[in-house]
Structure 1
Amino acid sequence: MLMRPGAPASEQTDGAAAESPDEQLHRDLLAQAPDAVDTLVHRYGARIFRLALRITGSPEDAQEVSQDVLLNIVRKIGTFKGESALGSWIYRITANAAYEKLRSRRGKDEISWEVLLPSFDADGHLLDSGRDWTQSAEDPAIQAEVRRRLKEAVESLPADYRTAFVLHDMEGLSNPEIAEMLGISLPAVKSRVHRSRLFLRQRLQEYVGRD
């Protein structure tokens, strides 16, 4: 908001207040203001690390991703056009960086994507144990173990599936948002999330639903 020459101080204050903290941060980063990077780290550092950790599952990788993301934000701030919120732009950069880090260390500890395909019987019907293990999971004595096994199962998902699952079920993004973020089709997002859920359910049934 531009101020009229000689405008009263109250009007100038109101105009300054109209600028959001992120708009101020964007302007400061563009101008290479002395405190801009510190403000960026203070405001977004923890959130960047949290998302990177959820996707990569490794504190070391998450730390590396966080450092790379913060550096890229500073370097590429000029490419941010304000078409979305600054936080959304940073979130997208983080998700993609963590996704690429996860893909780069794809190894023998990661399951094959074929394992996530639904199982069918000879008549073409979807196989499902049908056992309701949720009552057992309510037992406080096994909740910690269930959480541990669920974490291990999520970490064993292939990078493509794990990233979609984390963004959808843990971060709360919509399917269209994930599709745009990862550069994949909407049906692909839905398929990855659905197959991930089936796999995780199967892994939990193997533990909680056993006799």
Structure 2
Amino acid sequence: MSAPQAEAMAEPEKQVPTGTVRVDRDAALVAGLRRGDEDATEHLLDTYGDRVYRLAIRITGNEQDAEEVVQDALWTAARKIDTFKGESAFGSWVYRITANAAYQKLRTRKSRRQEVSWDALSPGVDEQRPYIEPVADWSGKVEEPALQTELRTVLTTAINDLPTDYRTAFLMHDVEGLSNPEIAETLHISLPAVKSRVHRSRLFLRERLARYLEAA
């Protein structure tokens, strides 16, 4: 058999799924953190620093607070690594720690100023409306680039106007993709409370964006 024929009959190289690579890397990272390796702590920052910062800045809306949240969250993740049981993805566990730290930061800030209540913010919102799709699904309804840019700006402002409790639950669910049970565990609230906050947030945001979505 010639060399070309042998190569042709050789088993093709298997492509390793990206998710599998992520799991393997996280497993190695967790093992290193449990051993107390200094390199593992640095790797935790390199791997998740930017991601948890994005979540923190979305929830807090403040760069300084977000930076403090990142430091607190990653330090907590490294220090409490033995509490990670592997029942969910390591990344989801880190996000929950981050969301909780950001939420506590917001609540501390809220105690220093009077926050607008939900009823005062959206007296006209009909909570009995049926299921509202996630905000991520709305972008495709606006085709003009200029309107898409304006829509994103208005959406960001509207999200920041949500009361702290609602904004946190909404961002964790619709933006970060965490499950209702994960959110309930992080925020120490019931599953119905999570669903209510996410639903009411979507209703409020849809009211704010109504003219863009109706024109689409």
What's the TM-score once normalised by structure 1's chain length? 0.73
User: Which of 11, 21, 25 pairs up with 2:25?
Assistant: 21
How far did residue 22 of structure 1 move? 2.0
Q: Which moved more, 1:191-200 or 1:102-111?
A: 102-111
Q: CA deviation at 1:164?
A: 1.0
Contact 1:111/1:158, CA 8 A, preserved across alignment: yes
Name 1:3's counterpart in structure 2.
none
Alignment check: 8 A CA contact 1:118 1:195 kept: no
User: Match for 1:77: what amino acid?
Assistant: I
Task: Determine helix, strand or coil for the equivalent of 2:87.
Answer: coil
Between the aligned partners of 1:208 and 1:82, the Cα distance in structure 2 is 41
- C-alpha deviation, 1:194, in angstroms: 1.2
Q: Deviations over 1:50-100 (max 9, x none)?
A: 111222222222111001111112222233333333222212111111111
Within the candidate set 183, 188, 192, 1:178 is matched to: 183
Unaligned segments of structure 2, at least 5 residues: 1-20, 130-138
- 1:135 & 1:23 partners in 2: Cα distance? 37
Residue 159 (structure 1) aligned to one of 159, 164, 167: 164
Which residue, out of 68, 89, 92, partners 1:88? Answer: 92
Q: Which amino acid aligns with 1:163?
A: T
Check 1:177–1:79 CA distance in 2 against 1; reply closer, same or farther (3 A cut).
closer
Name the residue aligned to 2:109: 105
* 1:162-198 Cα shifts (integer Å, max 9, x gaps): 0111111111223233222222111111111111111
Gaps of 5+ in 1: 1-16, 127-133
Q: How does 1:38-57 map to 2 (within 5 A)?
A: 38-57=42-61
Question: Secondary structure of the equivalent of 1:20?
Answer: helix
Partner residue in 2 for 1:33? 37
Q: 1:13 maps to which residue?
A: none
Alignment identity in percent? 57
Determine whether 1:63 maps to 2:70: no
Cα gap change, 1:84 to 1:78, in 2 (>3 Å): same
Check 1:35–1:114 CA distance in 2 against 1; reply closer, same or farther (3 A cut): same
CA displacement, residues 109-151 of structure 1 (integer Å, 9 cap, x when unaligned): 8532113566389xxx98xxxxxxx999544333322211110
Q: Which amino acid in the other structure matches residue 164 of structure 1? A: A
Matched with 1:130 is none
Question: What's 2:17 paired with?
Answer: none
CA distance in 2, matches of 1:195, 1:79: 33
Query: What CA distance in whole angstroms lies between the structure 2 residues aligned with 1:112 and 1:163?
Result: 15
